[in-house]
Amino acid sequence: MPDFDSMRRHMVDTQVAGRGVSDRRVLDAMRQVPREAFVEAGSEGLAYDDGPLPIGSGQTISQPYVVALMAEAAGIRPADTVLEVGAGSGYAAAVMSRIARHIYAIERHARLAEAARERLTRLGFDNVTMMVGDGTRGWPAMAPFDAILVAAGGPDVPAALKEQLAVGGRLVIPVGRTRNRQTLLKLVRTAPDAYEEDDLGPVMFVPLIGEQGWARGDRG
């Protein structure tokens, strides 16, 4: 049986902190979440590799560094309510749940969402609420959000997500004019009708499919 605790510590020290992520809350959260429980059966030994892994339904669990980078960029704090779009296996939601007050997570694939819900409940991550739906529309009933993180790349920032961000809130999302390569953007809502934007560098995510993202059959 692999020593997952040692592998987790090594991942945080080398892949995350070693590449510049310094937010103590994020690093502590990454140390607490058993990533091996969020990958497909048979892939547990690869859970702490420096790269994404398939989780079924054509989706992936993001590279550990990218999860940490996005969480740090979002500036998540203990009192925050956070929206995650593209929950996948639930790993990033679990990490953020160790920092924030509550995580609302949306996943468009029902099979992945149900598996993530069961996994999070079984592991005791009880401040995560999961919904199946179109994440590009956000979750209006639970808005406004202090932070919104999107784990899929769209052609533009969905207007619904911008509207559901609290003033002072942070939105981190990959955006690009093709489906295969994007730029990671951070938006801060500085006033009801004003946003500041920061370019965090090139990334590669699965496509953001939905009403305000890519159409299902659109190749981009």
Domain ranges of the chain: 4-203
110 vs 113: CA distance, rounded Å: 5
> Residue 84: its pLDDT value, please?
98
**Residue 62 a catalytic site member:** yes
User: Is residue 219's pLDDT more than 70?
Assistant: no
Average pLDDT over residues 134-153: 97
Question: Looking at domain 4-203, does it have CATH number 3.40.50.300?
Answer: no
User: What is the DSSP secondary-structure string of 145-184?
Assistant: EEEEEE-SBBSS--HHHHHTEEEEEEEEEEE-SSSS-EEE
User: Is residue 176's pLDDT more than 70?
Assistant: yes
User: Is residue 220's pLDDT more than 60?
Assistant: no
Buried b (16+ CB within 10 A) or exposed e, 57-81: bebbbbbbbbbbbbbbbbbbeeebb
Continuous H helices in the chain: 4-10, 24-32, 64-73, 91-97, 110-123, 159-163
Residue 167: what are its φ and ψ, rounded to 5°? -65, 130
**Among 188, 154, 153, CA closest to 169:** 188
Position 178 confidence tier, pLDDT thresholds 50, 70, 90: confident
Average pLDDT over residues 189-218: 92
User: Is residue 180's pLDDT more than 70?
Assistant: yes
Q: How many Cβ atoms sit within 10 Å of the Cβ of residue 219?
A: 9
Q: Can the peptide bond before residue 64 be classed as cis, meaning omega within 30 degrees of 0? A: no
- Provide the sign of the torsion angle of the four alpha carbons 183, 20, 11, 99, taken in this order: negative
Position 217 confidence tier, pLDDT thresholds 50, 70, 90: low
Q: Which residue has the tokens 């607490």?
A: 32
Given 6, 43, 57, 62, the catalytic residue:
62
> Residue 1: its pLDDT value, please?
76
> Residue 11: its pLDDT value, please?
96
DSSP category for residue 44: G
Q: What is the mean pLDDT of the chain?
A: 95
**Among 193, 122, 182, CA closest to 157:** 182
User: Is residue 117's pLDDT more than 70?
Assistant: yes
User: Is residue 114's pLDDT more than 70?
Assistant: yes
